[in-house]
Structure formats: structure tokens, C-alpha cells
């Protein structure tokens, strides 16, 4: 996993003060990193349009033009008169080489956006919006310098935002690149160093970006074991028994030895899944909420959930009055945005719309974790957020293929399976989220055709 930063100005300052690197040196490394990436990955292209703003993002673009002008037909466009010290210096250097400024912009094989980057902290004027609209319409390969212009530090999009195929970000990975909305515009994110190894440039951050290599499936390495060694998950069944069956099969395919659906009799139950009217004595974890319905009797729920066993909650349980009685426990909750908005409201944390949540997912995940530090939150979305106490993780491996009924039931089953096998809540949440999203990528089906069964089948390929 990698550190994520809301801003890197403080890291740049540390590089100046502790390692005696200048702003100029850091910028040269950034520009060299961009130039090397472009030459390595787009050597077959002939022309490059670099659109620059007035600040340091524009300075990066101007410096890039200087480094590439012997390799490409460089078309440098400066949208606003340079205002920062570095932008003025880089322009002076570039003009000294005889590079001309293009007043008009035309399509090129490569389009580089160095207009605003993370420096946009005001409303965008119509002229800038029109420029972004125009270059988005161009057919060239699109590369954003640091952050696509129109995307801010909080991951919010302005009306017009540069839509990149690749974002070359500098120094540290920015928080705002991983909001749900940012996923539409950042393309592939590539980190470039600024002349210091990451171990020296970065501080430890409370937000982390999960990597595929962070997945650790529950392989059975010990030889002297039996089915009692791998736990027993009990799932509370309800009105929609299909949801509980999906969760049960998901759990059974991810290491847990025994799975029981508890409650009313289930029809057409798979042979590998057991059922009972009461909680089995050897239960080691409980999952509740999937297909539960909103009329499940409170006294029955209380009977099933009164133990101190590890617990994962999803879906309908959030709308039962008993939910707030469970919040003193160490547990996992797995809401989608609509459910999380409801949770924030009933806990008197915030009364917001789904739109407000989606615009500020980081903010509200932090708010919830601060107020309920014993609960592990998995906030589902295009980029899933996992929050526990002062630690936050983003899983970017989700795809629109998962936007289908049953995908969440798979996730809950995976969480339950790992809890039953002895994982902590935060480890179970991270591993379950990675397993679900990476298993979905193993299918050869078209994105619209993915089913919960495909995800469960994919678990065996991890």
C-alpha cells in the first residue's frame, strides 16, 4: 500500500529545508520524469501540444516543452501570462532555445494539460472552460500534469475537467485523484519522483492506497488441521433468501470451513450450506442484513446478535432500530452511499443528500471514523473507502461491472468468512474488499454480464 496526501506543499518544503533541494531542482526532476515517460511510451508520436497556465503547473509544462523540442513537433500554448516566479523563469529558458509560443491551439498526437493542476482554488472562468472543452475534443493521447485541470484537492470536479488517459503526478500521490468522480478523468495514475526516494520525500500518511499485492488470500499453509481450524460463519436469513445464499457461497469459497444460514427454513439451499433455526454453538462470526427485510422481529434479531462474536452488518439491518444498539461492538459495516447517508442521519452526524456525500466521501468517512472508532467502515463506491479509527484505505480496483444486485452480498460473505477465521475487523475489511474486486477482474465476460456467481468463481483464481 502507498501513502496518499491531501497536499504535498509541506513535503516540498521539507525537501528544501532538510535536504537543501531548491524549487528549481524539484521542478526539473518533475519535467524530466514527464519527458522520460512520454519518450518511453509514445516514441512513435510526432507532435505534442502543451497547454500551460500561469502558475507552477504551467511552469512544469513550459519546462517539458524545452526538454522535448528536439524529439517532437512541440506546440506550446500559454493560456495566461506567467505569474509565478518559476513560470517566468521556465519561459525565459524556453524562449532562449528559440521555441515559439502558439497563440492558436490545434490537435496533436499528444495533448498535455498543464493549465491548473492542483492549483485551482477558485471558480473557473468561461475562457478556461472553453479551452478545456476544446482540448477534450481533440483526438490525441491526453496526459495531465500532476492533476487534471478542473479536479480539485477534494476530488471534486468543476463543470469542465480535462479527461486524461494518463495523469503524471509529482512527488506524492494526491488524495483527490481517488474520489469516485475522479475515476472518470484521471486515467492511469503514474507517480514521478522529485529527486528524492519516496522513503525520504514522504511522511507516513493516515490515508493509504491499496495495491493488488496487498491481497493475502487465506491459503491453508498448515498441514495438521481439521474443519474446526477454519471457523464457522452464521448468516442471519430473512425475506430475500437469495441474498443470504450468495453471501453463504461467497464465504464458503473463501476459506471458512462451515457456513450456516440461521432463521426460517430456506428453500433450494446448496448442499454445502447448512441451516438452523438457532445460532450454532460453534459459531465463530456472524453476518446479518443481506436480504433481511425491514420487518424482521426485533426480539429474534436481539437473540441472534446479543453475543460478543465478530460481526459484519449490511443492507437492511441499517434500517432496524436494533442497529444503533450494536454500535458499541467491534464490527464491520458495509453500506452503499444511500445506506451511509441514512446511517449518518440516524446517528446525528450529518443530514445530507447522496450527492453531498458523493462530493465529499473522504470528509464523511473521516467524520464517521472519528465518532465511532470501534467500527470498521467499508463505504462502497467506484473507489471503495475503508475507515477504522485514524486509518483510511482506498481500493481502486472496483469496476462498473460490480454495479449489480448481489455484488454487495458477496462482499459481506467475504468479510464474514475472514472474521470467522480469526482476522481482525480492519484486516478482514481490507482483504475482503480486495478479494471481491480482484476476483471480478478474472472473468472473461463483458462488463455488463458479470454475476455474483462469476465473482465467487473468481475467488479460486486469486
pLDDT score of 222: 79
Please check whether residues 184 and 282 belong to one and the same domain: no
Residue bearing cell 511522511: 203
Please check whether residues 386 and 450 belong to one and the same domain: yes
- Domain C-terminal end among 206, 240, 260: 206
What CATH number does the domain containing 247 carry?
3.40.1190.20
pLDDT score of 119: 61
Q: Which helix (H) or strand (E) holds 343?
A: helix 337-346
Please check whether residues 189 and 241 belong to one and the same domain: no
Please check whether residues 243 and 148 belong to one and the same domain: no
d(CA 236, CA 314): 11
- Provide the residue-wise pLDDT of the chain in tens; the chain has 462 residues: 999 999 898 999 999 999 999 999 999 999 999 999 999 999 999 999 999 998 899 999 999 999 999 999 999 999 988 888 999 999 999 999 989 899 889 999 999 999 987 766 677 788 889 999 999 999 999 999 999 999 988 898 888 999 999 999 999 999 999 999 999 999 999 999 998 999 999 999 999 999 999 999 998 887 777 777 799 999 999 889 999 999 999 999 999 999 999 988 888 899 999 999 999 999 999 999 999 998 888 888 998 998 999 999 999 999 999 999 999 999 999 999 999 999 999 999 999 999 999 999 999 999 999 999 999 999 999 999 999 999 999 999 998 989 999 999 999 999 999 999 999 999 999 999 999 999 999 988 888 999 999 999 999 999
DSSP letter string, 79-148:
SS---SHHHHHHHHHHHHTTPPBPSS----SEEEEES-GGG--SPPPHHHHHHHHHHHHS-SEEEEESS-
Selection from 46, 45, 15 nearest residue 28 by Cα: 15
DSSP letter string, 256-296:
-SEEEEESSPPTT--TT-EEESS--TT--EEEE-TT--S--
Residues 6+ apart with CB under 8 A from 135: 49, 51, 105, 111, 113, 142, 162
d(CA 337, CA 335): 6
d(CA 334, CA 241): 19
Where are the extended beta strands (E) located within 222-379? Answer: 232-236, 258-262, 274-276, 285-288, 311-313, 331-333, 375-379
Please check whether residues 114 and 31 belong to one and the same domain: yes
Please check whether residues 314 and 399 belong to one and the same domain: yes
By the 8 A CB rule, do 442 and 460 touch? Answer: no
pLDDT score of 367: 97
Please check whether residues 319 and 424 belong to one and the same domain: yes
Q: Which three cell numbers stand for residue 412?
A: 459481506
Look up residue 157 and give its DSSP letter.
B
Q: Give the residues across from 169 on adjacent strands.
A: 191
Selection from 391, 462, 400, 399 nearest residue 431 by Cα: 462
pLDDT score of 247: 96
pLDDT score of 213: 97
Please check whether residues 428 and 286 belong to one and the same domain: yes
- Domain C-terminal end among 174, 206, 238: 206
pLDDT score of 72: 94
Look up residue 202 and give its DSSP letter.
P
Q: Which three cell numbers stand for residue 130?
A: 472553453
Exposure b/e, 216-229, CB count within 10 A at least 16 = b: eebeeeeeeeeeee
- Domain C-terminal end among 171, 206, 241: 206
d(CA 373, CA 394): 18
Please check whether residues 242 and 153 belong to one and the same domain: no
Please check whether residues 376 and 230 belong to one and the same domain: yes
Selection from 313, 375, 382 nearest residue 349 by Cα: 375
By the 8 A CB rule, do 180 and 382 touch? Answer: yes
Residue bearing cell 446478535: 305
Please check whether residues 200 and 229 belong to one and the same domain: no
Residues 6+ apart with CB under 8 A from 322: 298, 301, 302, 305
Identify the domain containing residue 337 by its residue range: 213-218+225-461
The domain tally of the chain equals 2
Residues 6+ apart with CB under 8 A from 144: 112, 113, 117, 162, 164, 166, 167, 168, 186, 187
Residue bearing cell 480496483: 397
What CATH number does the domain containing 127 carry?
3.40.50.10260
Alpha-carbon distances, residue 178 vs 15, 124, 193, 208, 325 (angstroms)? 25, 22, 19, 11, 33
d(CA 177, CA 233): 37
> What dihedral do alpha carbons 48, 38, 93, 193 form, nearest 10°?
150
Please check whether residues 176 and 306 belong to one and the same domain: no
Amino acid at each position: 500500500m502507498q501513502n496518499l496526501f491531501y497536499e504535498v506543499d509541506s513535503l516540498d518544503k521539507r525537501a528544501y529545508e532538510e535536504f537543501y533541494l531548491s524549487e528549481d531542482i524539484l521542478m526539473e526532476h518533475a519535467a524530466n520524469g514527464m519527458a522520460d515517460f512520454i519518450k518511453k511510451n509514445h516514441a512513435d508520436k510526432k507532435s505534442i501540444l502543451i497547454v500551460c497556465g500561469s502558475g507552477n503547473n504551467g511552469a512544469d509544462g513550459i519546462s517539458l516543452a524545452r526538454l522535448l523540442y528536439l524529439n517532437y513537433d512541440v506546440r506550446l500554448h500559454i493560456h495566461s501570462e506567467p505569474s509565478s516566479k518559476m513560470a517566468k523563469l521556465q519561459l525565459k529558458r524556453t524562449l532562449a532555445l528559440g521555441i515559439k509560443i502558439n497563440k492558436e491551439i490545434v490537435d496533436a498526437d499528444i495533448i498535455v494539460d498543464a493549465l491548473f493542476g492542483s492549483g485551482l482554488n477558485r471558480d473557473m472562468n468561461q475562457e478556461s472552460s472553453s479551452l478545456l472543452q476544446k482540448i477534450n475534443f481533440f483526438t490525441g493521447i491526453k496526459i495531465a500534469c500532476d492533476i487534471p485541470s478542473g479536479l480539485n484537492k477534494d476530488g471534486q470536479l468543476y463543470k469542465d475537467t480535462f479527461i486524461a488517459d494518463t495523469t503524471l503526478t509529482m512527488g506524492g500521490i494526491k488524495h483527490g485523484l481517488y474520489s469516485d468522480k475522479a475515476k472518470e478523468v484521471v486515467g492511469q495514475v503514474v507517480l514521478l519522483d522529485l529527486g528524492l526516494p519516496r522513503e525520504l520525500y514522504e511522511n507516513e500518511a493516515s490515508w493509504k492506497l491499496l495495491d493488488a499485492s496487498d491481497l493475502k488470500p487465506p491459503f491453508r499453509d498448515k498441514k495438521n488441521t481439521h474443519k474446526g481450524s477454519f471457523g464457522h460463519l452464521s448468516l442471519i436469513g430473512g425475506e430475500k433468501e437469495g441474498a443470504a445464499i450468495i453471501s453463504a457461497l461467497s464465504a464458503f469459497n473463501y476459506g471458512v470451513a462451515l457456513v450456516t444460514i440461521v432463521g426460517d427454513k430456506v428453500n433450494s439451499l446448496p448442499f454445502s450450506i447448512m441451516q438452523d433455526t438457532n445460532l450454532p454453538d460453534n459459531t465463530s462470526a456472524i453476518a446479518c442484513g443481506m436480504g433481511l427485510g425491514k420487518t424482521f422481529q426485533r426480539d429474534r434479531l436481539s437473540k441472534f446478535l446479543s453475543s460478543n462474536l465478530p460481526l459484519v452488518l449490511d443492507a437492511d439491518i441499517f434500517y432496524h432500530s436494533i442497529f444503533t444498539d450494536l454500535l458499541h461492538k467491534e464490527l464491520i459495516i458495509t453500506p452503499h452511499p444511500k445506506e451511509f447517508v441514512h446511517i449518518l442521519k440516524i446517528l446525528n452526524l450529518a443530514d445530507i443528500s447522496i450527492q453531498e456525500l458523493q462530493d465529499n466521501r473522504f470528509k464523511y468517512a473521516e467524520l464517521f471514523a472519528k465518532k465511532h472508532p470501534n467500527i470498521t467502515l467499508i463505504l462502497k463506491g467506484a473507489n471503495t473507502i475503508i475507515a477504522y479509527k485514524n486509518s483510511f484505505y482506498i481500493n481502486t480496483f472496483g469496476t462498473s461491472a460490480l454495479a449489480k444486485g448481489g455484488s454487495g452480498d458477496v462482499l459481506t460473505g467475504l468479510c464474514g468468512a475472514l472474521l470467522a477465521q480469526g482476522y481482525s475487523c480492519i484486516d478482514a475489511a481490507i482483504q475482503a474488499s480486495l478479494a471481491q474486486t480482484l476476483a471480478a477482474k478474472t472473468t472473461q465476460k463483458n462488463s455488463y454480464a458479470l454475476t455474483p456467481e462469476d465473482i465467487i468463481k473468481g475467488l479460486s483464481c486469486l
